[in-house]
Amino acid sequence: MKVLITGGAGYIGSHTAVELIEAGCRIVIADNFSNSSLVAVKRIRSITETEVPCYFADLRREETVTRIFRNERPDAVIHFAGLKAVGESNEHPVAYYDHNLGSMIQILKAMRTYNCRNLVYSSSATVYGGEAEMPVMEDAALQTTNPYGRTKKMIEEMLMDTSGAYPEMCITALRYFNPIGAHRSGLIGEDPLGIPNNIAPFITQVAAGRRGYLQIFGNDYETADGTGIRDYVHVTDLAKGHIAAINKGAGRNGYHVYNLGTGYGTSVLELVHMFRLVSGKRIPYVITPRRPGDAAVSFADTSKAERELGWKAELSLEDMCRDSWNWQQKNPAGYRSEMIMEVETL
C-alpha cells in the first residue's frame, strides 16, 4: 500500500511515517514545513534506511495537491497537516479555518478525482469539550470551546457528509488524547517553535535547564491532588493506531471514529514526578491560576479501538517520559541542534 502522509514532517506524522515503513508500506510525505523541519525527514530516512519522497507543499493549493496525486497515485491518505495551537487559534481564527479546512477540502477533491478511497484523519479529544463524562466514549455529545476545536469538529462533519455521498470510501477520524514521548532512538521527537504550549516539552526543557521552572496551571481542580488529569499516550503507540486504521480501512466502507488514548488519566503532579524519576533532574514548579478553557479531567474509553481495530496502547508513562527525555538530551535545541552542529563544523 502507498500512503500519502500530509504533515509527515511534524511530530505525530514523522513517527507514523517510521511505523508505516516498518510495517511494509510505501510512503510519500507532503508538508509546508511551517511547524517542522527537513531534518525530521532526513531522520526518518536514517531510522528506516529508506528513501522517502517528500513534497514541499502548501496543501491549501489545489494545483499542488493535484500534482502530488497525479505523480504518486496513493492508495490511502493520512491527513495530519494543519495548525494545532488552541491559544493561537483564538488570536488568528481565520488562519485556522484556512489551513485546516482548506487543506482538507483539497485532499478530498483529489481523492475523488484519483479514486483514492481510504482516508485517516487526525481529530482530537478537544471535540468533547470540558464537560463530558469520563472516560469518554465516541458517541458523547461534541462541544467545542475555541476555533481550533471547531475546525476539528467541522472537518469531522465534512467527512461524515463525504462518506454519506460516496459510500465506497472508508473515512476514519482518530481522536487523539495527549500524545507525548519520542521514538526510542531519540532521533525524532516533538520540536515546538518558541515557548512550548504543551506540558511534556515544557517539562523536558525545564529538566534540561533551558527554562527555569514549570507553571502548573491550577491545583484547585476536583482531582486527588488538585491538578488537571489527562490521558497521555506514547506517540509510537499513537502511530501504530494509524496503521491499524489504515489497514482496516482498506477492507471496508463508511465513516468511523475512534478514541486513541491509554484509557487512564495522570495528573500534572504525577507527570512531573515521573519525569523527575527518569531524568534524575530537579523540576522546579510554581502553581499559577487555571489556564482559561482547560478541562479538569480528560481520559478516553478506548474499548472501541481495541474491539474494532485490534489496537491498544502498550507503552507506559515511564516509557513516555524516558523517551521524551532521551530525545531532549540528544537534541538540546530540537532539530536545530543538527543544523547548529553542521554550521559549527564548516
Q: Which of 69, 80, 96, 176 forms a contact with ligand UFG (CB under 6 A)? A: 176
Binding site for ligand NAD (CB under 6 A): 7, 9-13, 31-36, 57-60, 80-84, 99, 103, 122, 124, 176, 178-179
- Least CB distance from residue 176 to ligand UFG, whole Å? 5
Could you identify the residue written with the cell 491559544? 87
Rounded to the nearest whole angstrom, what is the least distance from the CB of residue 302 to ligand UFG in the complex? 14
For residue 256, what are the β-bridge partners?
A: 172
Give residue for cell 454519506.
164
Instruction: Look up 148 and say whether it is catalytic.
Output: yes
Q: Which is nearer to ligand NAD, 31 or 72 (CB)?
A: 31
User: Amino acid identity, residue 341?
Assistant: M
| Spatial distance between the Cα atoms of 41 and 29, rounded to a whole number of angstroms | 9
Angle at 12 between CA 11 and CA 14, to 5 degrees: 70
Residue 143 CB: number of other CB atoms within 10 A? 14
Write down the least CB distance from residue 55 to ligand UFG, Å: 25
Q: Which does 66 bind (CB under 5 to 8 A by kind): ligand NAD, ligand UFG, none?
A: none
The answer to whether 122 contacts ligand UFG (rule: CB under 6 A) is no
Q: Residue with C-alpha cell 511534524?
A: 10
CA dist., res. 125 & res. 89, Å (int): 16
Minimum distance from CB of 190 to ligand NAD (Å)? 7
Q: CA-CA distances (angstroms) from residue 285 to 28, 161, 262?
A: 42, 46, 26
Using CB under 6 A as the binding criterion, the count of chain residues that bind ligand UFG stands at 21
Nearer to ligand UFG, 185 or 215 (CB): 215
Q: Choose among ligand NAD, ligand UFG, none what residue 291 binds, the Cβ cut-off being 5 to 8 Å by kind.
A: ligand UFG
Residue 230: enclosing H or E segment and its boundaries? strand 229-230
* C-alpha distance across the termini of the chain, in Å: 41
Cβ at position 4, least distance to ligand NAD in Å:
12
Determine which helix (DSSP H) or strand (DSSP E) holds 207, and give its type and residue range. helix 199-207
Residue 179 binds which entry of ligand NAD, ligand UFG, none, with Cβ cut-offs from 5 to 8 Å by kind? ligand NAD
Region 33-92 residues binding ligand UFG, contact defined as CB under 6 A: 84, 86
Q: How far is the CB of 260 from ligand UFG (least distance, A)?
A: 10
- Answer yes or no whether residue 125 interacts with ligand UFG by CB under 6 A: yes
Asked whether 271 and 201 are in contact (CB, 8 A), the reply is no
Residue 60 or 234 having the CB closest to ligand NAD? 60
Among 55, 96, 121, 148, the one annotated catalytic: 148
Residue 175 or residue 322: which is nearer to ligand NAD going by CB?
Answer: 175
What residue 33 binds from ligand NAD, ligand UFG, none (CB within 5 to 8 A, per partner kind)?
ligand NAD
Q: How far apart are CA 76 and CA 4, in angstroms?
A: 6
Interaction partner, residue 69 (ligand NAD, ligand UFG, none; CB < 5-8 Å by kind): none
**Going residue by residue from 192 to 231, which x/- string records binding to ligand UFG, judged by CB under 6 A?**
-----xxx--x-----------xxxx----------x-x-
DSSP state of 128: G
Backbone angles phi, psi at 245, to 5 degrees: -70, -40
Contact status, residue 144 vs residue 93, Cβ threshold 8 Å: no
Q: How far is CA 102 from CA 59, 61, 157, in A?
A: 8, 8, 14
Residue 44 contact among ligand UFG, ligand NAD, none, beta carbon within 5 to 8 Å by kind: none
| Cα–Cα separations (whole angstroms), residue 314 to 13, 100, 216 | 19, 30, 28
Residue 213, SS3?
A: coil
Look up cell 495527549; give the residue. Answer: 178
Site for ligand UFG in 229-258 (CB under 6 A): 230
Q: Which residues are catalytic?
A: 148
Interacting residues with ligand UFG (CB under 6 A): 84, 86, 124-126, 176-178, 197-199, 202, 214-217, 228, 230, 268, 291, 294
